[in-house]
Amino acid sequence: MSALEGVRVLDLTHAHAGPICTMFLGAMGAEVIKIEPTWGEMTRMFPPLVKGVSPYFMFVDRCKKGVTLNLKDPRGREMFMEMVKKADVVMENFSAGTMDRLDLGWDVLQGLNPGIIFASISGFGQYGPWSDRRSFDPIAQAASGYMWTMQEGINPDGPPLQAVEAIADTIPGFSALIGILAALQYRNRTGRGQRIDVAQMDAMIGVMQSFSFWELAQTTFRSAARSGRVGVSGLHKALDGYVMFSLPAGRITDWFKELLDVEEVTPENVGEWVERRPVEEVVKLLAKTGVPVAPVLDLDQVKANEHAIAREMFVKVDHPTLGEVILPGFPIKFSETKGDITMPAPLLGQHNEEVYSELLGLSKEKLEELRKAGVV
């Protein structure tokens, strides 16, 4: 049995922030029905396309059934509303106000199903002076102060810097994920659904420790971490690559001093010790000593890494067009309800027949009629 068995999610999400949330729900056993416009959502076209499939879509839309539905057609809207009655969660990340324009806002959904949990991610939330603005990850990285902290921490004289993975999509996606799980728990107790409003900007502010450093000490996390007693922590160049290690004050630093046979750790004696050894030796010695350490690995090295393999962090996904593909595995290890992230991202409309016949009782003929009319 999986943790979220029996939970049905109507997933209107596109791009990254919404889809990563619903993918995790699917991996934990929810039935996620990804509802796309008949032309497919934007991430399907994110380059480079490999045999017509986007690596992005393939990554972030696993564990979902895929259907097409034109919500602007009255028949499509009607079908969606019927499905809301049989669902637990509706999730979307359109620009704020889009669901209201479709006449599928909170009041409508709640009226159809008082237990429904309706979660939205948007750049700036459903209210507030910036709420009507569109957004992608870099916009939220800029607006939350994150890009400024990257600049301040890496090169204060350079321009602001953008983190290269879509962190300001993933963190909002996980915030919504947590919200949905809490709302399911609340609904189990009370029978009541609720509206969840996650803004990318809020989600980033909410996890940035630098705001506390700034408020209390007029510094940032990175500057504080670099100064004082933890000054030798960080990246070091070994003979054949780079190692990262952390030396907090206390017993870890004492163990490190013993290993190096020095009274004090200084950038000079540490640098000299590391640069004479290959990465593997530095890592082995420090790990054995108890110092937090890792080699700086490239993507191929991570995929081949014995530890990542032992923890099933790369899994085989069998895709109808691409064949077998190796993708990141599920990072939450449950003792009872193992997650599974191997269901491939759906082809456009792949599950129309299955979903619409099971949920709405539509016949093949009716579906064909709706397809010809551009409703599915």
Q: Is-cis flag, bond preceding 48, omega within 30?
A: yes
Does residue 283 touch ligand COA according to CB under 6 A? no
Q: Which residue has the tokens 């456009």?
A: 348
Other CB atoms within a 10 A radius of the CB of residue 132 amount to: 12
Name the phi and psi angles at 33, rounded to 5: -105, 105
Does residue 171 touch ligand COA according to CB under 6 A? no
Shorter beta-carbon distance to ligand COA: residue 45 or 326: 45
| SS3 call for 6 | coil
Q: Which amino acid is at 261?
A: D
Least distance CB 342 / ligand COA (angstroms): 23
Name the H helices within the chain: 17-27, 55-60, 74-85, 98-101, 106-112, 137-143, 146-154, 167-190, 200-207, 210-217, 221-226, 251-260, 267-275, 279-289, 299-304, 306-310, 352-360, 364-372
Closest CA to 332 of 341, 343, 319, 344: 341
Mark residues 137-166: x for contact with ligand COA by CB under 6 A, - for none: x-----------------------------
Does residue 22 touch ligand COA according to CB under 6 A? no
Least distance CB 44 / ligand COA (angstroms): 13
Which position among 22, 54, 93, 210 is part of the footprint of ligand COA (CB under 6 A)? 93
Least distance CB 376 / ligand COA (angstroms): 10
Which position among 50, 114, 132, 134 is part of the footprint of ligand COA (CB under 6 A)? 134
Does residue 135 touch ligand COA according to CB under 6 A? yes
Which position among 4, 15, 203, 270 is part of the footprint of ligand COA (CB under 6 A)? 15
Enumerate residues 104-133 that contact ligand COA by CB under 6 A: 121-123
Give the integer Cα–Cα distance in Å for 43 and 274.
44
Closest CA to 249 of 264, 229, 269, 267: 229
Shorter beta-carbon distance to ligand COA: residue 293 or 376: 376
Does residue 220 touch ligand COA according to CB under 6 A? no
Shorter beta-carbon distance to ligand COA: residue 133 or 338: 133
169 is catalytic: yes
Does residue 101 touch ligand COA according to CB under 6 A? yes
Which position among 7, 25, 71, 184 is part of the footprint of ligand COA (CB under 6 A)? 71
Does residue 234 touch ligand COA according to CB under 6 A? no
CB 32 within 8 A of CB 64: yes
Does residue 229 touch ligand COA according to CB under 6 A? no
Does residue 374 touch ligand COA according to CB under 6 A? no
Burial class (CB in 10 A: 0-12, 13-18, 19+), 303: middle
CB 43 within 8 A of CB 16: yes
DSSP state of 50: B
CB 41 within 8 A of CB 11: no
- The catalytically annotated residue of 137, 169, 197, 202 is 169
Does residue 70 touch ligand COA according to CB under 6 A? yes
Task: Indicate which residues carry an active-site annotation.
Answer: 169
Site residues, ligand COA (CB under 6 A): 15-18, 35, 37, 69-72, 93-95, 98, 101-102, 121-123, 134-137, 169, 200
